[in-house]
């Protein structure tokens, strides 16, 4: 069966998940990978949903807008092509960054990782503390190809940390299967 990507965003309030997933269920959808979280007071939903062949993305979006529009959500449904089963194989690493906020932190870290062919697989950031002097925390998971030089990447991230005046740590992130 085909898959669609559903995104919904709106000011957080009780009942958003129940309402959106209720519409999807009534239209024969089956939730697969999803991420839903509160971002700065807005509730953001990203869902990969398996839908019946008869259920088009446009019709599903119209149904969502009709049925949950009252919650003030911005909703979009798009068809997605079947993803390849696995991305490029690499070693899992994690990056943690924290320090005073400033524009460009995420981009400069991401660009450095891209330069090393690292694939970011998960990333979240949080503004911490009140006022203009607030701190910024970035946590990300990446997959580093076998050909990449992790020592060099760590050195370059340390240099970047000095330029930005923040702390950046790179560490192996491998799991033990017990």
**Site of interaction with another protein (CB under 8 A):** 37, 89-92, 121-122, 124, 141, 143, 173-178
Distance CA 111, CA 157 (A): 11
Residue 58 beta carbon to another protein: minimum distance, rounded to whole angstroms:
30
Between 18 and 175, CB nearer to another protein: 175
Tell me if 95 sits within 8 A of 168, measured CB to CB.
yes
Between 70 and 85, CB nearer to another protein: 85
Residue 12 beta carbon to another protein: minimum distance, rounded to whole angstroms:
17
Residue 166 beta carbon to another protein: minimum distance, rounded to whole angstroms:
22
**Residue 8: Cβ-neighbour burial (10 angstroms; 0-12, 13-18, 19+):** buried
Residue 79 beta carbon to another protein: minimum distance, rounded to whole angstroms:
23
Between 37 and 155, CB nearer to another protein: 37
Distance CA 174, CA 114 (A): 20
Q: Is residue 28 classed as helix, strand or coil in its secondary structure?
A: coil
Q: What is the DSSP letter of 27?
A: T
């Amino acid at each position: 069966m085909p898959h669609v990507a559903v995104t919904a965003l709106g000011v957080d309030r009780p009942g958003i998940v129940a309402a959106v997933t209720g519409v999807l269920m009534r239209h024969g959808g089956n939730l697969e990978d999803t991420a839903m979280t509160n971002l700065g007071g807005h509730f953001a939903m990203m869902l990969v949903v398996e839908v019946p062949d008869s259920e088009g993305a446009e019709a599903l979006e119209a149904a969502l807008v009709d049925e949950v529009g009252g919650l003030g959500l911005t909703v979009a449904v798009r068809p997605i092509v079947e993803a390849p089963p696995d991305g490029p194989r690499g070693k899992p690493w994690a990056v943690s960054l924290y320090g005073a906020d400033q524009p460009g932190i995420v981009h400069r870290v991401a660009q450095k990782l891209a330069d090393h062919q690292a694939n970011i697989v998960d990333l979240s950031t949080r503004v911490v503390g009140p006022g203009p002097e607030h701190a910024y925390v970035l946590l990300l998971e990446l997959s580093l190809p076998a050909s990449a030089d992790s020592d060099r990447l760590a050195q370059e991230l340390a240099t970047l940390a000095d330029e930005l005046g923040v702390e950046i740590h790179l560490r192996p992130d491998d799991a033990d299967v017990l």
